[in-house]
Amino acid sequence: MLRLNTDKLSDRLNTVAKFVPKGARLADIGSDHAYLPCYLAKKEVVSFAIAGEVVTGPFESAKKQVVLERLTEVIQVRLGDGLDVIKPKEVDCITIAGMGGTLITSILDRGRSKLESVQRLILQPNISAISIRKWLFENNWELVNESILEEDGKIYEILVAEKGNARKPYKENIDAGLLLGPFLLERKEAPFIKKWSMEIENWRKIFSELENASENDEVLHKKQDLLRKIELVKGAIKE
């Protein structure tokens, strides 16, 4: 029987799945229904996976799904915060999808000791991919690939990192690379152009609202920052 969600993932999760190397020992953190590890186990991409969840409702759903799929030999569903569910050296690949960028970086930061055995991180922030790129950059994880896609009217970015030379993917304009993504900037695919054109429009709207606000240092600073970002992105996506 073909099961929606574990035989066929959403485009977003499918893109995350494509970056998981064959034979990986995986931890999927914030796993909700454990769709991603179930899919990867059924495709025999992973031979061992942990589905980590901090909230009991999604933890129970993940457990149910794994039992239903008869995958309890391959997937262990564990209740806990972030990387706390992983024992040292247990996994070599981590996926974290469907959360904000700052929550993802705080999970990685708090779980630093568990990253020693990890070779690849696959991260899909719903917002603020910049905070992930900055964290990777500061912690010497090299961004090795990125992907962008539109699904159900939303645009998603996926970041793939390995231990290495954090500076390598960035050219001379690091600010633009951190904000936009060096691989995405190079490729300039349709969802990328759409995302940043919409962002520029949004910044322009905020700017014109600030034009009507009474002028003080804070307003001035916000306006300068908006102008700087508009120019940076306009220039970068045109190149």
Ligand X SMILES: C[S@@+](CC[C@H](N)C(=O)[O-])C[C@H]1O[C@@H](n2cnc3c(N)ncnc32)[C@H](O)[C@@H]1O
Burial of 217 (0-12, 13-18, 19+ CB in 10 A): exposed
Rule CB under 6 A: say whether 52 interacts with ligand X: yes
Strands (E), 126-223: 141-151, 154-163
Contact between 182 and 169 (Cβ < 8 Å) = yes
Q: Choose between 28 and 182: whose C-beta lies nearer to ligand X.
A: 28
Is the Cβ of residue 29 or residue 148 nearer to ligand X in the bound state? 29
Token pair 């999760």 in the structure block, residue:
13
Are 141 and 161 in contact by the 8 Å Cβ rule? The answer is yes
- Candidates 41-49, 96-104, 179-187, 219-227; binding stretch for ligand X (CB under 6 A): 96-104
Under the criterion CB under 6 A, does residue 218 sit at the interface with ligand X?
no
Minimum CB distance to ligand X smaller for 156 or for 183: 156
Q: Measured from the CB of residue 152, what is the shortest distance to ligand X in angstroms?
A: 13
Does position 79 interact with ligand X (CB under 6 A)? The reply is: no
Please select the residue that binds ligand X; options are 97, 121, 178, 185, rule is CB under 6 A.
Answer: 97
For ligand X, the binding residues in 3-42 under the rule CB under 6 A are 13, 29-32
Q: Is 99 in the site for ligand X (CB under 6 A)?
A: yes
User: Helix-strand-coil percent breakdown of the chain, rounded to 5?
Assistant: 50, 25, 30
| Residue 185 beta carbon to ligand X: minimum distance, rounded to whole angstroms | 24
111 binds ligand X (CB under 6 A): no
Single residue of 53, 69, 146, 157 touching ligand X by CB under 6 A: 53
Integer Cα distance of 217 and 60 in angstroms = 51
Closest by CA position to 80, among listed 102, 58, 112: 58
The answer to whether the CB of 51 falls within 8 A of the CB of 37 is: yes
Contacts to ligand X by CB under 6 A: 13, 29-32, 52-55, 58, 81-82, 97-99, 103, 107
